[in-house]
Structure formats: C-alpha cells, structure tokens
Amino acid sequence: MADRLTTLVQGTDDPYLLDYAVKNLGDGVPPDGDWKTINKVRRAALEKKLFLKPPLAKVVLSFQRQETAQLLEEQDQMLKGQVESLRELARQDDDALVFKLRSSNVEKRLTGLLAVALKRAHLEGELIERLNDHSTDVGRLAHRVLVRLARGTDFGPTRNANRAQRLLAIHRWRQWWAMQDAAHAGRNDDAKGIDPTSPERQPAADDDQASMTAVFLENLDRQTAALSMEPVKAPAEQQEAALAKLKDGKGVIYTEALAASIPVLAPAVQANARRALAERLTRMTAKTLRDKFKDDDDEVRRAAALAAGTKKDQALIPDLIALLDDVEPVVARAARAALRNIGGQDFGPRAGATDAEHIAAVTAWAGWWKKHKAKGYGEVPRHAAKTGNGL
C-alpha cells in the first residue's frame, strides 16, 4: 500500500490530492495505524507541498523521524490550518490575490501564488512579473503555476537558467500573454479566421544567441551594455585583450560588464571570461566579497566564491558554508571548491546529492568550522581531499 500511494503522490502536482494525503494519512488510514507506512506516504506528499515554509518542512520531517503519535497529531493540525488558510484566500476576489503577489513579504507572495493555483485565477500577467522575483523560491513557484494555467505551455526559465536566459524566457512569456489577451479581448482575428492561440502565432522558442543578447542588453544601462559587448563583438584574435580590459579596469562598472558578457559570449570563450572575473574579484577585500556573495547575478556569486578560495581568507569560511545552500548549483559547487581549497577538507555535497546528503554535508562543514574556530584562528588543519573540485 505504501509503495503504491507514494508513487501516486510523487507523480502528481494536483494540490487536492496532496491536501488529501497530508490531511488524512494518520487519521485511521491505514486502519491498523501502521505509522511507518503513514510516514512514508506523508513524507512523499510533504516534499511536493510547496506551501510549507522551508524551516517548517524541516521541523515536520524531524517530527516524522521521531514517529510519535503526539507529534504527528500536532503536525496534522498545523498543516490543516495552512490548507484552510489557502482555501479561504482562494475564495477571495482577484484583487486580493494581486495584493498578495505584490507584497514585500516573501511568504505572502508564496501564499498568493498557491492560492492562484488553487483558484486557477487567470492572473498570468502578474505571474510573469514574478518570474524575475528576487526570491528564487517565488520565481520557481510562479513558473510552475504559470505552466499549469497555460495548460502545459512552457517558455521557461529552466531551473539552472542564467540571467540572460531568464530574461529571454520572461520576454517570450510576455509575447505569449499579449496574444492570449488579444484573443480574450475579441479583437479582429476572429473575423479574419485567425486563431491567436494557434502554434503559428506563438513566440519562437528557439534559444538563438541573437535573441538572448538583445533581450539581455535591454536590461542593462547603456554604458555597461556597451562595455559588455566589446569581447562579444571582438574578432577571435582580439577577445583575450577585450576580456583583459574588463578584468583590469577600475570601477564596479567593469565588474558588472565582465559578468554581463559571460551569458552572451560563445561557449568556447565563456570559460576564459569566468576565469577573468574570478581573478578580478581576487583583488577585493573580504567585506566586498561578502557583498558579492549576495549579488543577483549568479556569475558574480560564483566568481566571488572562487576568489575567496584563492585568497584563503579563513574569515570567509562561514559565508562560504552558507553559500553551499545557494539556489544555483554552479555557485554551491564553487563554494565547496573554495572551502576545500582553504581547509583541505571535503565534506561535499557531491554533484546530484539528495536533500538529506546536502543537509548532512552542510552540517559537517559547520561542525568542522565550529571546532576549528573554538581553537582560535590559525593554520587550518589540512588533509588530502578525496574527491574532485566539483566544478
């Protein structure tokens, strides 16, 4: 029974099925009160329920591991309250949902997105704007809800999309929604026998470099855009010199331009540009690197982590441990490489690690640093790393 129910829950995004699984498992299902079976299915359901706050999800999973009836009952009451709150919000008018989606509070925006999904409210325009939300959790959930409302149409962005790819995806979604809006407004297409929702009228989905470059540059100021295009437009024999200019130029604009050039450079040149950016950031202080760890551009965060590893500044170890949880895998891998370079240890997480393995790796790094810090700063104990650099 557990295997069949688990497979069913893992294979669906239907909020009603997930609600049922979380609400009812443990309330006499199965009748014999087999807690191991109940926990197995509930865990599968909880991993799919996006309305849970990350800290709450960890608490719930911790409750499950203890497998006590009292804690499970508390968990059920907590989840039932959240589900009912979502349903109450979904019964409100669209203006209330828009207010949630535009809230400055991340949790309220997430709640608003889930209510939109439950209500199937046609707020596609609002959802498209949330794709570029400063919270990655909000952006990813907005994408899932948008695809659901669009009946499977999907222009991205993919999970590991860089800034340029994300902006291009938003551009295509806006084109698509303009066409749907025209159809709903009853414009003259019907009279001409044209269906605005037909495949012929949908925006092109090919990822050609020209489209990505154009959309990306629209979102940069003029001076940064001009500098970032120098290595892109330079002949092959002059590209290294153009990258060197951006690497050595004085001022934050050169950092921004070098990072901005990476997504639109030919793949063969991107590695050189990333190396140049990391070398540029190596000249920065620990305080400046901490700021770069929080930059919106994943290329900057990645380069900052590698620069920290090159500098071997132990003061940055806690920041690098925190960066292991970065939403972009390339940034997390760079943080791991930097930590290994500073301390000679390698606790992971490995590429493709499960959530449990990831948590264990971060916990191991934190424990190692706590022991080292307690002894006072000094030479970090070094041991040969057993794995590759993870990049």
CA atoms of 344 and 260, how far apart (whole Å): 32
pLDDT at residue 117, rounded to an integer: 85
CA atoms of 340 and 306, how far apart (whole Å): 11
> Are 226 and 308 part of one and the same domain?
yes
β strands within the chain, DSSP E: none
pLDDT at residue 316, rounded to an integer: 94
Q: Is residue 78 part of a domain?
A: yes
Q: Is residue 389 part of a domain?
A: no
Q: Is residue 380 part of a domain?
A: no
Which of helix, strand or coil describes residue 78?
Answer: helix
> Are 333 and 234 part of one and the same domain?
yes
pLDDT at residue 111, rounded to an integer: 86
Here the tokens at position 5 are 């129910």
Low-confidence ranges of the chain (pLDDT < 50): 27-33, 50-57, 59-60, 63-64, 66-68, 71-72, 188-207, 381-390
Q: Is residue 49 part of a domain?
A: yes
Q: Is residue 100 part of a domain?
A: no
Here the tokens at position 221 are 């100021």
107-150 per-position pLDDT tens digit: 888 888 888 888 888 899 999 989 888 787 888 889 988 988 88
> Are 319 and 242 part of one and the same domain?
yes
Burial letters 187-211, b for 16+ CB under 10 A, else e: eebeeeeeebeeeebbeeeeeeeeb
> Are 84 and 125 part of one and the same domain?
no
pLDDT at residue 30, rounded to an integer: 47
> Are 269 and 232 part of one and the same domain?
yes
pLDDT at residue 275, rounded to an integer: 94
Q: Which of 7, 2, 9 is nearest to 29 (CA)?
A: 2
User: What's the domain range around 34?
Assistant: 2-90
> Are 242 and 178 part of one and the same domain?
no
> Are 51 and 123 part of one and the same domain?
no
CA atoms of 238 and 88, how far apart (whole Å): 61
> Are 254 and 329 part of one and the same domain?
yes
CA angle (202 as vertex; 200, 205 as ends), nearest 5: 110
Q: Which of 265, 268, 322 is nearest to 299 (CA)?
A: 265
Q: Is residue 195 part of a domain?
A: no
pLDDT at residue 257, rounded to an integer: 87
Among residues 176, 210, 244, which one ends one of the domains?
210
> Are 158 and 83 part of one and the same domain?
no
Q: Following DSSP, what letter does each residue of 263-309 receive, concatenated?
A: GGS-HHHHHHHHHHHHHHHHTS-HHHHHHHHT-S-HHHHHHHHHHHH
Q: Are the beta carbons of 145 and 86 closer than 8 angstroms?
A: no
Q: How many domains does the chain have?
A: 3
pLDDT at residue 371, rounded to an integer: 86
> Are 242 and 334 part of one and the same domain?
yes
> Are 226 and 286 part of one and the same domain?
yes
Q: Are the beta carbons of 264 and 212 closer than 8 angstroms?
A: yes
CA atoms of 313 and 321, how far apart (whole Å): 13
Three-state SS for 208-266 is CHHHHHHHHHHCCCHHHHHHHHHHHHCCHHHHHHHHHHHHHCCCHHHHHHHHHHHHHCC
Q: Is residue 277 part of a domain?
A: yes
Q: Are the beta carbons of 168 and 218 closer than 8 angstroms?
A: no
Q: Is residue 381 part of a domain?
A: no
> Are 267 and 228 part of one and the same domain?
yes
Q: Which of 202, 195, 198 is nearest to 174 (CA)?
A: 202
pLDDT at residue 212, rounded to an integer: 52
Helix (H) or strand (E) holding 175: helix 163-184
